[in-house]
Chains A and B, each alone.
Chain A
Amino acid sequence: DSPVQYERVGADVTMKCGSMDWDAAVTWTANGTDIDESRLNGSYLILKNVDLTQSGQYSCYEGSSWHLKYQTSLRVGTPPREPVLMCRSNNYPKGFYCSWHLPTPTYIPNTFNISVIHGTKEMVCEKDAVPKNRCHIRYLQLFSTVKYKVTLTVTNALGKNFTTLTFDEFAIVKPDPPESVVAKPVPNNPRRLEVSWQNPSSWPDPESFPLKFFLRYRPLILDQWQHVELSDGTSHTITDAYAGKEYIIQVAAKDNDIGTWSDWSVAVHATPWTEEPKHLTTEAQITETTSASTSSFMAPPTTKICDKGAMVGSGAMAVCWTAGLVVAAYSVLFI
């Protein structure tokens, strides 16, 4: 394996062909492709103002024998910028986790080191296997007024940077959103919707550390949300829904005493119960008993001229009494 050489974007890089003299005849390749002689200063390879596309395997061969004299893997990148760090307790009172990322990539490998200090005590933040940029800490003490100080340092071959977060035990408590939110219409109640949900499964002891909830709902056709705060229970009946309108509903959770609200739960949709229209039921029955056709079209009954009981004659010539009288009257006029 060839050694790795890290260089900053924009740097000027000079590569020597191992122990070869400056005036030796050599050939340089980049990822197996010959490099033009104009890039050479004697046997040195000069790369000015390097960019990310110039990362790769560089090799130097002696002119006549084509013996490999030098090889290096060039990695062009940047030193790390100040990392972004977040700490949160979604499983209070068990512990909290911290997660981090870089605001811009460095394009070269980075290592992260995190330290957590509580008063004078250094605590161990155990790294999670997945995701890699996260670690968790178990609380050793509860109800402490002493702040936690978390420092994250990121280092790579081109530099280092760090950030620090200081916080109270209570301030970072933020549960995960409620789970299994279900909204159902209430039979025979056109303005009600029954909503139920469960505590987030990550919250370890809802009995001793109860959550309160915030419900928001609106019909899809409007932008304005209605809000309800609920101090206990995991269900609520909406009683002022607009009849027949589809609603969107979400729930959030918060520890009863400390911390901040969770993100909103996954949205659920529901429409209040509506009564079946009666005339549609009657026409459906008529269509079934009088017609063998699969056509759904039927002349509306209000357009009929006379009842079947007043028909005279048969088949195509069948006419009703009323129509017959009208025809007779016109006939007399034109005689």
Chain B
Amino acid sequence: MAGADSPSAALRRRDLCARGIRLAGKMRSDVVDLLDAYVERQGLDASASVAAVEGVPPAAVERWDEQTGTQRLLENLAAYRAFRALLAQMLEEQREQLGEADAALGRALAAVLLQVSAFAYHLEELLRLESRGPPSEEGDGPPPQPQGVFEQKLRGLGVLRELAQWAVRSARDLRQLAKPGPGSAPSPTESP
């Protein structure tokens, strides 16, 4: 396996970052559309403030510019794995609540879930290039399911809003990673 800072690894990293940035952009656009549809179909108020929901990873970060490349990848991966589980639950809830009456919403949710899974895969690949490898998912239980239909809808709103923010943050993170220099690759003392 090529070293983390070999030319082929650098090319692969740049390629993964470029594709990841494009995927994040598409994902954001689709999540924003889905958010509008979700608010309308679920009868919610678009301007409602949703307090931080348990299990939904917040995109907000302090000292973002000081993060190392590895920190960025690990935080992103943890978030998208969580979103993958949350969206799967939302899909199930949506089928139970609205069923065939809103197949379009179900399809849109499923499409975003697919993109989230693909993005998580990109992040795992990038972590493998860092010679670190992605952390195991063992022990990651399913997110707690809200009791009550209204709570489920509010959580859904929170999930999609945070995911839209994450998509923007992830594109920025990958651009930082793609930059040559410290913070985008492990330091010489870290590589094998």
Contact = CB atoms under 8 A, between A and B. Distances in A.
Interface stretch (A65-73, A82-90, A140-148): A140-148
Contact residues of A: prevailing secondary structure? loop
Nearest to B161: A145
B59 interface: yes
Interface string A131-144: 00000000011111
Interface string B98-129: 00000000000000000000000000000000
Contacts of B28: 257
A143 B179 CA distance: 20
A275 interface: no
Contacts of A208: 172, 175-176, 179
Interface residues of A, number: 16
A143 B60 contact: yes
A145 B165 CA distance: 7
Interface string A112-155: 00000000000000000000000000001111111100000000
B168 interface: yes
B165 A93 contact: no
A142 B49 contact: no
A141 B172 contact: no
Interface in A178-213: 207-210
Contacts, number: 45
Nearest to A210: B175
A143 B60 CA distance: 5
Contact of A257 (B62, B64, B166, B168): B168
Interface in A251-265: 257-258
B172 A144 contact: no
A97 interface: no
B166 A143 contact: yes
Nearest to B50: A145
Contacts of A257: 25, 28, 168, 171
B58 interface: yes
A170 interface: yes
Contact of B162 (A140, A145, A209): A145
Contacts of A145: 58-60, 161-162, 165
A16 to B, nearest CB: 55
Contacts of A142: 60-61, 64, 169
A143 B169 contact: yes
Interface in B141-192: 161-162, 165-166, 168-169, 171-172, 175-176, 179
A92 to B, nearest CB: 10
Contact of A143 (B25, B65, B165, B176): B165
Contacts of A93: 64-65
Contacts of A207: 175, 179
Nearest to B28: A257
Contacts of A140: 62
A258 B168 contact: yes
B60 A209 contact: no
B52 to A, nearest CB: 9
Contacts of B49: 147
Interface in B8-52: 25, 28, 49
Max chain B C-beta neighbours (<10 A), residue from A93, A146, A208: A208
A237 B65 CA distance: 35
B175 A143 contact: no
29 contacts: A93-B64, A93-B65, A141-B60, A142-B60, A142-B64, A142-B169, A143-B59, A143-B60, A143-B64, A143-B165, A143-B166, A143-B169, A144-B58, A144-B59, A144-B60, A145-B58, A145-B59, A145-B60, A145-B162, A170-B168, A207-B175, A208-B172, A208-B175, A208-B176, A209-B172, A209-B175, A210-B175, A257-B168, A258-B168
Interface of B: 25, 28, 49, 58-62, 64-65, 161-162, 165-166, 168-169, 171-172, 175-176, 179
